[in-house]
Amino acid sequence: MNIVFVLLLVAALVAGAIKGDVKAVGQGALEGAANGVTLALGLIGVMALWLGLLKIAEKAGLVEKLSRAVRPIFRPLFPGVPDGHPALSAMVLNIAANMLGLGNAATPFGLKAMEELDKLNPQPGTATNAQALFLAMNTASIQLVPTTVLALRVAARSKDPAEILVPTLLCTLCAFTMAIVVAKLLERVWR
């Protein structure tokens, strides 16, 4: 990536020199850096809010209640994972964080879930059906609140930043459903 950025910078300087306006390139770089900092600070605020709420929910026991509530859905999806196994809680936290658009917060939960699922793996180094399904679900992830995109739209001064909520929910719901269906179909094919 460093090479790509250096090449882009050199190309911009060459184009500015050819056009005779190198000063505009420097000015644009400074403005872009300032906008990047403003955007990052806005994203940090949104991320801190949702991470804090997720931590409060975890401490209050809401995560365990959520885990119990989704157990009837997860049991047929993950029949090889014993009831009450730590992998289930980690998967629920990962999916919940992804639903809230907190990809960065979801990552540790996803890694923990895969680690716990690997403990059940009779062939280490080869993904189990449960690991493949969870990876597909994690990748497709339903977005109830696409936090990052909303923050970007607010930072860009969109007239209606929330207008993407329904289309995003529908698209991600379709992707999530297809991920489960395809993973389950492939599970049967590879047996």
Write down the pLDDT at residue 191.
Answer: 59
User: Is the pTM above the cut of 0.75?
Assistant: no
> Residue 87 in contact with residue 81, Cβ under 8 Å?
yes
CB atoms within 10 A of CB 117: 27
For residue 94, the Cα-to-chain-centroid distance in whole angstroms is: 9
Is 100 part of any domain?
Answer: yes
Write down the pLDDT at residue 131.
Answer: 94
Residue 14's H or E segment, with its range, is: helix 2-19
Max distance between CA atoms of the chain, in angstroms, equals 69
Is 17 part of any domain?
Answer: no
Write down the pLDDT at residue 172.
Answer: 93
**Tokens coding 10:** 């050199």
With a cut of 70, list the residues of the chain below it in pLDDT: 46, 190-191
Phi, psi dihedrals of residue 84, rounded to the nearest 5°: 80, 5
Q: What is the number of structural domains in the chain?
A: 1
Domain that holds residue 97: 2-12+22-189
Is 27 part of any domain?
Answer: yes
